[in-house]
A and B are shown apart, each in its own frame.
Chain A
């Protein structure tokens, strides 16, 4: 048991993650061909536009359909539909928490591949200044609110204003790069267009292609560029406190050396600086556990599931990984 533990804690998390991510990528992007269907409430970007390859649908797509609901039918079976969808979503999240982002999300995986490519080319990554970081991180919450409110305003007239046009439907999907990128992996480029049928449609799809262009540059130059703005991550963070999988920190063992912060793709400063909190899952966290792997202090950081530590920072593990990675 002790040896197994030492083996796991000494493991190269990057390689482990690479394979798990690849597995999930194949499952979520091509699983549909093998008739795998994980339902409509997946807490990750298993893009619904990727037909028939998808093995399940990103919860944001049905959510945006469901919130397209007249006010008076909320207390009805349609309202119940919203509730069951949300409960299924929370159930998925309850188990794996934000590891959906760090290990399962196909768009996240694609961004990690872009990062590897940049690394191989020896091009420096960019980061946000702390000032911009705190300013920009609000965007994902704004997007989350909009993707719920816009469909609702399509079905309801508020304060006598006309309802929003039909072409505003699934507004987040319209600007989400996954809609273009993920179907492309099954050879479907039909989303890579601007729809000129109406002004609204042209604006939304044009915006989508604009975001796609920015995504390719941003994702190349910033680690996990899009995740920082992802409303799914915002939705996760509303429920992540109660989930079974946790990232724990023992502040007394922390030297605040910042090694974890260096490794963090999401630039979460608290991982190094916060020595008070017992669990440290910030809204941007994707639970990749790179921080655990890069912590040289015995047991200062650990990933735990239902209170059982599954991956822990150790001195031996740290130096083993450093030596290994250096040689590559």
Chain B
């Protein structure tokens, strides 16, 4: 393939991506009334980055990450910026299809598609990626990234998290990664730099937790599609700017709560969203749910709650303890379905369903995402036993199934409303 053809393809992809993103953003922003004023920061951010192709973190050393288990505190401490490569673009999904088997996860394909498109120019300088060995597809895609010319650090994650052996194994891998980061960026991780980066992430987590807590209000003060957009922005936004924007949003949402404002109908069924992560522009399912008259009040996905909820606890503020603490945070509370046991995920879902007074659970699985598909049966049965209705939705990034999906979702939401009336 000549360079000219390549450039042409890249240009086509850029246009397509821009169009796709603009459509999605338009839907999210314009199809709903009464968006919080503070959301403008995020709408604008997506417009700049996704539609206009602005480069995030210009002039900074950027390290791509693929999963929530990457201890981002270490990357910040080494003077670099982590950017999560997972994306929800159908354009990239199609581009990545050539590297992966037919029945594979849209998210992995989209990631590979982006890396091969030539559009991830902000990564090009160092072309450094940290790939965590979570599911098979992610693990193996790490190798494909290497073939595409990226420098990949394979961060090995154990397949279970209960045993001490798994914990020590993971801690030692994270320590190895921390050491490598130092030589990668030229900034050795020091006690002070790590302490500061833990603080920065903790501040972001605090902001997220506040938003999370505000959504417990009996009248949902903010729609789930906006919150997904907010947490999704954490993938690539400057962490401090993001935190400030979230705190501004929190203030506004808090005011809304005090005023008794309802972002959805007063009696809208409250939905807990779980499963494969909704990532912009693929907010297809959350938007459908909220267009159908329900409201997403909480989630258990790795693009939101699972990424930002759990906090680092350090016992001794020395490097030896901080690195292990950061490693622990990435492993121990994680409810990713790649782990052998699904007990923690069940308990987490139940606790969220209870504290957020949830009416029903929507479980999204990207077709080809085996682990989420495999956990579906046990989770659905568990929720049924607990008396919580749930809807399992298998989908991907293509817009083809929207019609069929909306019928199913409307039916589910109607059943939730009927159930409410009966009570």
Binds A, one of B90-98, B311-319, B388-396, B411-419: B311-319
CB atoms of B195 and A326 under 8 A apart = yes
- Interface of B, secondary structure class, is helix
CB atoms of A262 and B313 under 8 A apart = yes
State the CA gap A269–B313 with chains docked (Å).
15
CB within 8 Å for A255 and B344 given contacts A294-B313, A296-B311, A326-B317: yes
- CB-nearest residue of chain A relative to B168? A129
CB within 8 Å for A263 and B344 given contacts A130-B164, A256-B332, A258-B328: no
State the CA gap A263–B325 with chains docked (Å).
10
User: Interface size for chain A: under 10, 10 to 19, 20 to 34, or 35 or more residues?
Assistant: 20 to 34
State the CA gap A275–B351 with chains docked (Å).
13
Contact of B310 among A257, A290, A322 (CB under 8 A): A257
CB atoms of B332 and A257 under 8 A apart = yes
CB atoms of B199 and A326 under 8 A apart = yes
B408 interface residue per 8 A CB criterion: no
Interface string of A81-114 (1 = CB under 8 A from B): 0000000000000000000000000000000000
State the CA gap A269–B167 with chains docked (Å).
12
Contact of A262 among B195, B206, B328 (CB under 8 A): B328
A193 interface residue per 8 A CB criterion: no
CB atoms of B313 and A319 under 8 A apart = no
In chain B between 327 and 354, which residues have their CB closer than 8 angstroms to a CB of chain A? 328-329, 332-333, 344, 347-348, 350-351, 354
CB atoms of B333 and A322 under 8 A apart = no
Closest Cβ–Cβ distance, residue A294 to chain B (whole Å)? 5
B202 interface residue per 8 A CB criterion: yes
B-side contacts of A272, CB under 8 Å: 332
CB within 8 Å for A124 and B318 given contacts A259-B313, A262-B313: yes
Contact of A318 among B311, B324, B333 (CB under 8 A): B311
CB atoms of A315 and B164 under 8 A apart = no
B146 interface residue per 8 A CB criterion: no
A122 interface residue per 8 A CB criterion: yes
CB within 8 Å for A273 and B162 given contacts A124-B320, A326-B198, A326-B199: yes
A122, A129, A257, A328, most chain B CB atoms within 10 A: A257
State the CA gap A269–B168 with chains docked (Å).
14
State the CA gap A323–B199 with chains docked (Å).
7
CB atoms of B315 and A256 under 8 A apart = no
B-side contacts of A323, CB under 8 Å: 199, 202
B209 interface residue per 8 A CB criterion: yes
Closest Cβ–Cβ distance, residue B396 to chain A (whole Å)? 30
Chain B interface residues toward A at CB < 8 A: 162, 164, 167-168, 195, 198-199, 202, 206, 209, 213, 309-321, 324-325, 328-329, 332-333, 344, 347-348, 350-351, 354
Closest CB pairs A-B (n = 7): A257-B333, A259-B313, A258-B332, A130-B164, A124-B320, A255-B333, A294-B313
Chain A interface residues toward B at CB < 8 A: 119, 122, 124-125, 129-130, 251-260, 262-263, 269, 272-273, 275, 290, 294, 296, 315, 318-319, 322-323, 325-326, 328
6 A–B contact pairs at CB < 8 A? A255-B309, A257-B310, A258-B328, A260-B313, A323-B199, A326-B317
